[in-house]
Structure 1
Amino acid sequence: MLTLPDGRWVAVEVKTGFGGVERGAVSLQKAIASIDHVAGPPTFCAVITGTGVTAPLGEGVVTFPLHQLRP
């Protein structure tokens, strides 16, 4: 979980390969459920992988490969 300077937060799960994306999304949703009631919903939810495609996973979660973060 990352906290932004203005207090909003971002939920991120990191997986080395695209094969772990579904497990990552489930894990991320469990973590969000335990935090959400205290901090409110996250601004952004993502499963970041070493390889793969950019795609929505449902329930507000998106997946994308790490290289997509480059400028």
Structure 2
Amino acid sequence: MGDRWRVEVDRSVCIGSGLCAASAPDGFRLDSVRQSHPVQDEADASEALLAAAESCPVEAIALHLAGSSEPVFPPD
């Protein structure tokens, strides 16, 4: 893909399903109260990160092009 993405998790929305960590274990971790956190604030664009965002049952994950506010997921 070649781009870098800013990865954000809205913890007020996250229900701790763990689908993100299962889809992209290098991209997401669950803390002790099962809230998701990105491993890094920015990461290389990848199918795994996109799949994790798309699989979140409450759409708590947002991906943006790094250095801009252009959305990758969810799309505008």
Which TM-score band applies after superposition, normalised by the shorter structure? Answer: under 0.3
Q: Which has the higher contact order (CA 8 A, sep 6+)?
A: 2
More helix by share: 1
> Normalized against structure 2, the TM-score is what?
0.26
> Normalized against structure 1, the TM-score is what?
0.27
